[in-house]
Each structure stands twice: as structure tokens, then as C-alpha cells.
Amino acid sequence: MRTSRRTRALLVGAVVVATVVLGACSEKKSPAILGGNGSESHTISGLWWVMFALAAAVYAIVGSFILVAAFRGRGTRHGRPTRITPDGFIWVGGIIVPTLILMTIAGFTVSTTAAVRKPSSQALRIDVVGKRWWWAVDYPGLGIKTANEIHVPVGQPLSFKLTSDNVIHSFWVPQIAGKVDTIPGQNNYLNVTVRKAGTYRGLCAEYCGTQHANMQFLVIAQSPGDFGRWAARESILPPRDLTEEQARGQFVFVNSACAGCHTIKDTQAQGDVGPDLTDVGQRQTLGAATIPNDTGHLSGWIANPQTVKPGNQMPPQSLSSSDLHAVVAYLQSLK
Ligand code: CUA
């Protein structure tokens, strides 16, 4: 009898340990949720640790009661089960302690929420629109438009204005801030200061259709000097002195279906269905951080984006091989 109780207790312990250990496994590396590299995520991770500490304490106490019960079993006195839970225990453990814990968490949550939504008047405004399935990015004060890669200066308050022109998406860069929904017909704001330079992966955190999982983006946090140089570079785009092949690529681009959906500044390509490609040559990824931006992937994407990201709004392009090479060379010059 004693052995079977011990076996049961060991089994319970093994299941608990396995759940905790295996819960940390994942095939695809996700962005760290406790990075704390932004003012907002730092505040939020403080709240997370308070909640974690309280939950861990409750878990340990309740778990130890279960273990004690598993070892002790139900005792009997004069042939009747013994009463092992006095009324006072139920009052304290069932009502007073949970109420105190919930009130503590509520207090921390309200103060944290108030702290992270405080706007700054010196903030750099960045307008982001959730598209299907990519992100349009506009710096209204700097005259820069781009997509899927958001350059930001470290140490300067940022104010993201977030909306959508289709369904609800959610803008989330776990390492720097909490998630904020982009809702059609409504502007939501996210105020944050990035504290550490680096490239942070962001994702859409609200199911929005077949390519929800591939609706990602990068936040490239740079020193103020590097950000200034990037912004200055953006302002002289697109390049004017094209090689013969690049110029032919531009001709093909603006005279084909490409121009109906994409904008390249200072050209006849002024479509607004797909991402603005004015600086596409300097982006690290294509298809909203789905594939790397190199010659092979770019050529494959243009020829048939549906094989890479099925269901996205760009149809396959039947360009001759030489036209495709020229278009690729032109797009790569845009940096
Ligand atoms: Cu956009 Cu999920």
C-alpha cells in the first residue's frame, strides 16, 4: 500500500516536471517575451514577474498539500473518515488569501497599464497600417514610406499610430512592447522608447487569414547617428544613375502589372495595393519577413509569390527570363 502511494506521488511529480520542461520547447525560435529592450516591455515584464512569483507560490503550496495528501491518504477514526480540513483553513485559504492575491495583481496591472500608455510630446511619429499580410510604414514627419522593416532611433520616444484597412491585426514586438490591435476605422497608439540597439522580430498577434503566420516584420533599432544616416539615405531615394540593365528593369516595372500595385517614389509606379518598394533593395527580407531578400528569392518571389506565401494578393508574373533579371537588378538598386 505504502509503495503504491509513493509511486503515485512520484508519477504526479514526473508529470509536473515534464510539463514544465517540455512547455519550453518550440521548433521555431520565438521572440523573447521578457527581453525588456523597450520602456514598455520593461514595465510589462516587471508585472509579469510579480504574477509569476505569486502563481509559483500558490503552485508550490497547493502542490505540497497534494503530495502530503497522496502520502497520508484518508485516515479513519472509530471507523469514520477523519475531518482533516477545519473551517478556519477554508476561510483563510479559500477566501482571504485569493482575494489578497487578486487585489495585488489588479493594483499592479492598473498602474502598469497607466504607465505604458503615457504619450510623449517629443515622440517620433510612425504610422503603421496592417495589410493582408504585410505592414505599411510611414514616417509623416520625415517623408519616408516603407514596408515591413521599421527603423527606429534608440533612446527617443516613439509614438506608433496603428490602424488597418481590412481586418483586425495585432502589432506585437515582444522584446520592446506589448501587443496593440490594428482595427479598421480606428487609430490605436503605442508609445515606447527602445533601450537597446538591435533587430527585433515582430509579428501579427491576431488571426487574420491564411497568411497570418507569415505577417511578420522587423524593428531595426539604431543609434541616433545611424538612424539619421538611414533617414538621409531614404530621402535621396530612388537612385537616378541606373545601369543599362537597371534602366530596362525600371521600364519593364513601370509598364507592367507591377506598377498597378506598387509605388516607387518619383516613377509612374504609384499603386497602393502592395508594399511601397522605394527602398526594397536595402530590406533584409521579402514577403513580410517570410524569405531573405537575395537575388534567388527575389526572382522566385516575382515569378510566383503564391508558392512562397499561398493566398497572398500578388499574382504570378509571366516575365521573360531577361526581363525578370532586369527587374531584379532594378529593384536591388533601390537602396
Ligand atoms: Cu495579420 Cu494576423
Cβ neighbours around 250 below 10 Å, total: 23
Q: 118-155 pLDDT, tens per residue?
A: 767 788 999 999 999 999 999 999 999 999 999 999 99
What's this model's pTM, rounded to 2 decimal places? 0.77
**Predicted confidence (pLDDT) at residue 59 exceeds the cutoff of 80:** yes
- Dihedral sign from CA coordinates of 11, 17, 19, 21: negative
> Three-state DSSP class for 320?
coil
- Evaluate: CB of 174 within 6 angstroms of ligand 1: no
Q: What is the mean pLDDT of the chain?
A: 87
β-bridge pairing 149-153 and 216-222: parallel
Measured from the Cα of 169, ligand 1's closest atom is: 1
Q: In the structure, what pLDDT confidence band is assigned to residue 36 with cuts at 50, 70 and 90?
A: confident
Measured from the Cα of 168, ligand 1's closest atom is: 1
Q: How many residues does the chain have?
A: 335
- Evaluate: CB of 204 within 6 angstroms of ligand 1: yes
Q: Which amino acid is at 168?
A: I
The alpha-carbon radius of gyration of the chain (Å, integer) is 27
Helix (H), strand (E) at residue 216: strand 216-222
Cβ-proximal residues to 13 (8 Å cutoff; 6+ apart), any chain: 67
Measured from the Cα of 132, ligand 1's closest atom is: 1
Cβ neighbours around 216 below 10 Å, total: 20
Distance 266 CA to ligand 1 centre (A): 31
Contact 163, 183 (CB under 8 A): yes
C-alpha cell at 314: 500578388
**Predicted confidence (pLDDT) at residue 1 exceeds the cutoff of 50:** no
- Evaluate: CB of 218 within 6 angstroms of ligand 1: no
Q: 9-28 pLDDT, tens per residue?
A: 788 788 878 776 666 555 45
Question: Residue 303: left (phi > 0), alpha (psi -120 to 50), or beta?
Answer: alpha
Measured from the Cα of 167, ligand 1's closest atom is: 1
Distance 143 CA to ligand 1 centre (A): 26
- Evaluate: CB of 208 within 6 angstroms of ligand 1: yes
Query: Could you tell me what percent of the chain has a pLDDT over 90?
Result: 57
Which DSSP letter does residue 230 get? H
Between residues 93 and 130, the one the model is more confident about? 130
**Predicted confidence (pLDDT) at residue 218 exceeds the cutoff of 80:** yes
Name the residue with the closest Cα to ligand 1, atom 1.
169
Residue with cell 506521488: 9
